[in-house]
Amino acid sequence: MRFVRQLETVTPYVAGTPIEEVLSRYGLEKAVKLASNESPLPPFPEVREVLAAGFEGLNRYPDAGCRRLREALARRFGVEPEMVAVGNGSCELLYWLSLVLLEPGTEAVMSDPTFLVYEKVVLARGAEAVKVPLKDFANDLEALAAAITPRTRIVFLTNPHNPTGAYLPAAVVAEFAAAVPGDCLLVLDEAYNEYVEREDSQGGLDLCRQRENVMVTRTFSKIYGLCGLRVGYGICSPGVREAIDKVRQPFNVNSLAQAAALKSLELEQRLDERRELNRAGRRQLYRGLEELGIGYVETESNFMLVDVRGLEVPADEVPEALMRRGIIVRPGAPLACPGYIRVSIGSAAENDLFLEELAALRG
Ligand SMILES: Cc1ncc(COP(=O)(O)O)c(C=O)c1O
């Protein structure tokens, strides 16, 4: 087979190890997954009824245009439905953007480290990924702006950042957006936006309404607990949405995912409880780590980096050692954060278990 040459530069995405695999590999009865920034809570109970009702219609293709969901999102965010794109997870939107904006000879600017999917979709198009180191665990906006050239077609900015959880205030993002040339798309990936408890958390959407070259991506995968169904969305200019409509699969978002997302959005006021749970979990982990004398990076999201350099086990072996004890976390090294692990904030019981097992590795 003669695969396209650019594939030589791309490696497959390595996802968090599934619970079932850890149970069978280590002969455990129980394991806790804190590796993929998932919600410890299932979807809202009302979503179950919607899914059951949707079963009857599975012999029909889904609404190819996601009309009802797009209209609901448009109403929710005060934009036109033409400005809403829905994807099979927000990752799919990133892939489409690479299809419509990148080709060999073009560049995409991103932080290093950042969400691993950006680099993959860029390299798969034969374009160049220009990587800018973080500053104090946060996106270095000055350096990112300086990395933009006439060849840059996309700038990826994650807020809160993955894998560090650092948050950029709306005013500094707005200033940065003003420095991005009009023919280059600024993608504000806000997958964790609903966890942010700052007054300016909706600043990215304001920018979308003001600037044609800004797109916000968000997802039902995280706080809504729907990652198993795969549904995310983007708010962008009608021109960007039209472009991605040309390349996407006609039925990219399945009917159950559309219905579940729509119902979840109706229940949005209940996200406060989930934010509260996350806030309590964050405090619990901060406190627990401090008591253990283990360092961490403060987060505005539902995951955090924990410094595992001072333990009895060498830092790069900590993820495996925790896994043997039934705690699945994300190793820092493949995320370009050697010496750290990335841990999702779980339920109170899961966080306790994590702290307990980490304490055991401290010696
Ligand atoms: C920064 C960031 N963007 C996007 C995603 C993907 O979300 P989705 O499940 O909507 O594809 C993730 C998932 O972990 C993420 O961390």
Residue range 182-216, pLDDT digits in tens: 999 999 999 999 999 999 999 999 999 999 999 99
What is the fold, at CATH topology level, of the domain defined by 45-268?
Aspartate Aminotransferase; domain 2 (3.40.640)
| Residue 15: band (very low, low, confident or very high) from pLDDT cuts 50, 70, 90 | confident
Cut 0.95: pTM above it:
yes
Q: pLDDT tens digits, residue range 213-235?
A: 999 999 999 999 999 999 999 99
Domain boundaries, the chain: 5-42+271-362, 45-268
Count of alpha carbons within 13 Å of 256, Cβ hemisphere only?
A: 17
Give, for ligand 1, the residue of 92, 158, 221, 233 to mutate: max count of ligand atoms closer than 8 Å to Cβ. 221
Distance 192 CA to ligand 1 centre (A): 8
Three-state SS at 148: coil
Q: Which of 40, 38, 35 is nearest to 21 (CA)?
A: 35
Query: CATH classification of 5-42+271-362 is 3.90.1150.10, yes or no?
Result: yes
**18: CB partners within 8 A, 6+ apart:** 33
**Ligand 1, CB cutoff 6 Å, lining residues:** 37, 89-91, 115, 158, 162, 189, 191, 219, 221, 227, 232
Structure tokens at 219: 């997802």
Low-confidence winner among 24-33, 100-109, 290-299 (lowest mean pLDDT): 24-33
Question: Is the confidence at residue 362, as pLDDT, over 90?
Answer: no
Number of continuous H segments (helices) and E segments (strands) in the chain:
13, 12
Distance 35 CA to ligand 1 centre (A): 13
Distance 88 CA to ligand 1 centre (A): 11
Question: Is the confidence at residue 363, as pLDDT, over 80?
Answer: no
Per-residue model confidence (pLDDT) at position 16: 81
| CB-based contact 318:23 (threshold 8 Å) | no
- From residue 10, give the alpha-carbon distance in Å to each of 6, 24, 186: 7, 30, 23
Give the number of the atom of ligand 1 that is nearest the alpha carbon of residue 221: 9
Structure tokens at 19: 């619970």
Q: pLDDT tens digits, residue range 248-260?
A: 999 999 999 999 9
Q: Specify the DSSP class assigned to residue 61.
A: -
Three-state SS at 230: coil
Distance between CA 96 and CA 300 in Å, rounded?
Answer: 28
- Residue 332: CB atoms within 10 A of its CB come to 24
Rg (CA), the chain: 20
Give the number of the atom of ligand 1 that is nearest the alpha carbon of residue 231: 10
Distance 91 CA to ligand 1 centre (A): 6
| CB-based contact 138:168 (threshold 8 Å) | yes
Distance 200 CA to ligand 1 centre (A): 21
Mean pLDDT along residues 242-268: 97
| Residue 14: band (very low, low, confident or very high) from pLDDT cuts 50, 70, 90 | confident
Per-residue model confidence (pLDDT) at position 168: 97
Q: State the chain's maximal CA–CA distance in angstroms.
A: 58
Give, for ligand 1, the residue of 157, 162, 193 to mutate: max count of ligand atoms closer than 8 Å to Cβ. 162
Mean pLDDT along residues 167-181: 97
Distance between CA 262 and CA 27 in Å, rounded?
Answer: 40
Distance 310 CA to ligand 1 centre (A): 30
Per-residue model confidence (pLDDT) at position 13: 86
Give, for ligand 1, the residue of 86, 98, 222 to mutate: max count of ligand atoms closer than 8 Å to Cβ. 222
| CB-based contact 343:285 (threshold 8 Å) | yes
Give the number of the atom of ligand 1 that is nearest the alpha carbon of residue 92: 11
Mean pLDDT along residues 120-141: 96
Structure tokens at 282: 């964050």
